Each structure stands twice: as structure tokens, then as C-alpha cells.
């Protein structure tokens, strides 16, 4: 029986007139409307996303080359979960950083270590999470040191990225991505190595970043003096997709050479040599690849209108090992930075606009098919119960 204290049903609020403006997302693309602005601004919707998306789906937290050597680690925090990825011998593990004593984060930042020692009272954990040291605990009755460990989060390596899943019943990641895997196979993405990330504190909803990344319609406007020159909006197209991913192909202008002075992946077809290949693994794993560069957007959701973005510009190992390539690598990073500074203007503008009482769902261009795929995927998850 419902009581005054009963929890409200967990679903995004509908407009006051009782209509379901989200239903228009599900129409065929040419008739559909975008995800309603309230999905980008309501704390309740974000709470539902945490429960039904972030706690159930595969989330990428970094590149495996960030933990190349035994003992290498890096920390991350996603939707309130402090995590550390660490190479324990040959194995990559992802552990909670929450101390089993009184909750302090046992480690921060990145580096190389043989154990994690909590700075508060020096409880010490092995790289597999086992508690191996806890001083002054001998009078604590039935203190079972051997039974205490940092929780390990399920993880999977895919194409050089570390993905985690908080749901032990979730399907493995790789089989769901087979078509995407076939599409990226010629690039050998796992061979790319990261450079230190460009870090952006991003005061907008995480989906605005995904939306922005997954359409090149905006080359016409925001990127008129950068990407539009190489990859005109009108030639870009998304593939059909029936999995948790989207693929957006951006052919280069035929009269323009793309690429830098950096070494390129060998054996690519002519088509791939003149293509910017863009993809998303839902909910928010974003990457773009050309023959010589892999650009990866790592998102750490914090609240409904805040996430941390790390942009990793990755190149082939021979590029990183060759000092003569440093200038070319730096100018590639500068270009990526310049493009993102343009995107910041757009994303901030959308977040501000979506907070307005006048904001409404808009119509999709055919160039926004990947967004439509993403929005339908989000709705499916939020309505999955
Ligand atoms: S909170 Fe970590 S040792 Fe006390
Ligand atoms: Fe952009």
C-alpha cells in the first residue's frame, strides 16, 4: 500500500501536460525528435542513469598502456566510485579505493607501487586488494585480516582500453561489439600508445559530450575553420547499428591530404587512408581514428551537469619513441585541443539553453543518425525497470 513516505517511481518526469515528449525519439529518423532537454538537467534522470546505465553497462576508464609495467596504477572516480586500475603481475585489476577501515581513499593520482597504504592509519593492501597490514588491531576481537580486501570491480580489456562493469550478471563486452571490432580491425587500435591527457573540467551533462562527438553536422558551424575544411559535414554518415555502439564515417575532401608527419598504420585501404573514423561504445566511450592518430575521450561523470574529460591523443609506438617526431606529435595535440575549445563553446551553450523553460526537443538532421541511435539506447535503458 502506498504511504506518504513511499518512494516516487524511478522514471524521468513527464511534462506537466501529461504528454511523453521522449516517445518522439523512437520514431523513424526522418520523423523523430531529439531527447527532451529535461534529460540533460534533472537530477532525478541522472540518478536513474546511475542506477540503470552506469551500474549495469561497460564503462571505459583508461588505456591499458597507462599500466604497462607491474605495479603501475592510475586512479579514477566515476559517479561517486573511487577506483584504481593497477597491473598486478601480468594482470590488470580494477579495485575500489575505499579503505575498509574508515573509508579514506587508499591511493590517489598515478604511479608505480608495490602496495597501497592508506594515508590515514596506514592499513596496507596488496595489489590484488588483500589487506596485508593493519597496525594496532590486535585487541579488536575476531578481526579477520585475511578476510578483508578492497573490492575488485569486474573488468575487461577491449582494443587496448580498460572497461569496468559494476554488474556481475552483465553480458561480456566483446561479443556485443563484434561489428565494431571488425570495422576497427585494420587500425590495430591496441598498438596505439597514449600521451599525457588534456584535462577539462566540464560543467555540463555527459550526454551533451556524446551528442557533440557523434555528429559532424556541426563542422559547418563551430568547426568551420578547422574540421570542416578536411571533413565536410555533408559527406559524413553513420552506419546502421544494432548493438551498444555507433559508427560515424567522415571521408576527407578528395583534394586534401589528411595526416601528419607521424608514422601511419600499415596496409590501410585507400578509403581508410582518407577517413576520420569516429565511434562510440555506449554510454560514453568515444574515440576517433585516422591512419596516424587515435584520439580517445575518457569521461568521468560526477553529477547531472558535471564531468571530468580527459582527451588522450595516442600514436603508434615508433612515433612516441622518436624525438624527431615530437614536434609533429605536439602539433597534433594542439589541433585536438583547438577543436575541443570550439566544442566547449557549443556544449556550454547547449547546457545553458537546455536549462531554459523555453527549451524543447528539436528535429534531427539526417547527419545526426548516430545521436538518434544513442538517444534510443539511453531511453531503452532508462525504461528497462
Ligand atoms: S581509513 Fe584507511 S587506515 Fe583508517
Ligand atoms: Fe566537435
Q: DSSP for 15-27, please give it.
A: PTTS--GGGGGGS
In this predicted structure, the answer to whether residue 306 has a pLDDT above a threshold of 80 is: yes
pTM for this structure? Answer: 0.94
In this predicted structure, the answer to whether residue 22 has a pLDDT above a threshold of 50 is: yes
In this predicted structure, the answer to whether residue 4 has a pLDDT above a threshold of 60 is: no
Answer yes or no: is the C-beta of 120 below 6 A from any ligand 1 atom: yes
Answer yes or no: is the C-beta of 121 below 6 A from any ligand 1 atom: yes
Ligand 1: which of 123, 133, 148 to mutate, judged by most atoms within 8 Å of the beta carbon? 123
Q: Give residue for cell 596505439.
A: 192
In this predicted structure, the answer to whether residue 39 has a pLDDT above a threshold of 70 is: yes
Per-residue pLDDT tens for 127-139? 999 999 999 999 9
In this predicted structure, the answer to whether residue 2 has a pLDDT above a threshold of 60 is: no
Answer yes or no: is the C-beta of 123 below 6 A from any ligand 1 atom: yes
Q: What is the mean pLDDT of residues 325-339?
A: 95
Peptide bond into 283 cis (omega under 30): yes
- Residue 24, classified by CB atoms within 10 Å of its CB into exposed (0-12), middle (13-18) or buried (19+), is middle
In this predicted structure, the answer to whether residue 57 has a pLDDT above a threshold of 60 is: yes
In this predicted structure, the answer to whether residue 320 has a pLDDT above a threshold of 60 is: yes
CA distance 315 to 293: 5
What is the whole-number distance in angstroms between the Cα of residue 218 and the centre of ligand 2?
7
Q: How confident is the model at residue 10 (pLDDT cuts 50, 70, 90)?
A: low
In this predicted structure, the answer to whether residue 11 has a pLDDT above a threshold of 80 is: no
DSSP string covering 43-100: HHHHHHHIIIIITTS-EEEEEGGGG-STTEEEEEEETTEEEEEEEETTEEEEEE-B-T
Amino acid at each position: 500500500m502506498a504511504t506518504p513516505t513511499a518512494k516516487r517511481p524511478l522514471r524521468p518526469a513527464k511534462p506537466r501536460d501529461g504528454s511523453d515528449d521522449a516517445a518522439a525519439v523512437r520514431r523513424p529518423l526522418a520523423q523523430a525528435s531529439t531527447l527532451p532537454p529535461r534529460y540533460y538537467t534533472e537530477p532525478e534522470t541522472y540518478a536513474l542513469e546511475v542506477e540503470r546505465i552506469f551500474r549495469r553497462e561497460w564503462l571505459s576508464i583508461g588505456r591499458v598502456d597507462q599500466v604497462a609495467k607491474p605495479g603501475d596504477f592510475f586512479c579514477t572516480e566515476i559517479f561517486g566510485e573511487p577506483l584504481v586500475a593497477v597491473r598486478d603481475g601480468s594482470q590488470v585489476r580494477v579495485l575500489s579505493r575505499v579503505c575498509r577501515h574508515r573509508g579514506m581513499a587508499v591511493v590517489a593520482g598515478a604511479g608505480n607501487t608495490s602496495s597501497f597504504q592508506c594515508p590515514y592509519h596506514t592499513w596496507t593492501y596488496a595489489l590484488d586488494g588483500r589487506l596485508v597490514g593493519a597496525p594496532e588491531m590486535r585487541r579488536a576481537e575476531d578481526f579477520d585480516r585475511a578476510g578483508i580486501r578492497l573490492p575488485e570491480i569486474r573488468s575487461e580489456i577491449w582494443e587496448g582500453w580498460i572497461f569496468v562493469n559494476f554488474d556481475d550478471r552483465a553480458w561480456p563486452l566483446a561479443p556485443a561489439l563484434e561489428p565494431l571490432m571488425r570495422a576497427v580491425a585494420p587500425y590495430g587500435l591496441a598498438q596505439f600508445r597514449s600521451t599525457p591527457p588534456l584535462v577539462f573540467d566540464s560543467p555540463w551533462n555527459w550526454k551533451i559530450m556524446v551528442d557533440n562527438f557523434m555528429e559532424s553536422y556541426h563542422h559547418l558551424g563551430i568547426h568551420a575553420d578547422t574540421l570542416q575544411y578536411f571533413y565536410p559535414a555533408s559527406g559524413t554518415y553513420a552506419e546502421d547499428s544494432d548493438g551498444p555502439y555507433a559508427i560515424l564515417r567522415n571521408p576527407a575532401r578528395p583534394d586534401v591530404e589528411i595526416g601528419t608527419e607521424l608514422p601511419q598504420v600499415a596496409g590501410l585501404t585507400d578509403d581508410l587512408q582518407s577517413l576520420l573514423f569516429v565511434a562510440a561504445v555506449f554510454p560514453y566511450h568515444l574515440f576517433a581514428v585516422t591512419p596516424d592518430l587515435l584520439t580517445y575521450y575518457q569521461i568521468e561523470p560526477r553529477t547531472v551537469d558535471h564531468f571530468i574529460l580527459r582527451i588522450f591523443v595516442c600514436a603508434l609506438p615508433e612515433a612516441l619513441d622518436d624525438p624527431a617526431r615530437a614536434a609533429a606529435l605536439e602539433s597534433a595535440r594542439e589541433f585536438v585541443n583547438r577543436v575541443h575549445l570550439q566544442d566547449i563553446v557549443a556544449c556550454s551553450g547547449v547546457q545553458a539553453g537546455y536549462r531554459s523553460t523555453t527549451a524543447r526537443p528539436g528535429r534531427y538532421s539526417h547527419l545526426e543518425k548516430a545521436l538518434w541511435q544513442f538517444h534510443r539506447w539511453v531511453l531503452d535503458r532508462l525504461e528497462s525497470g
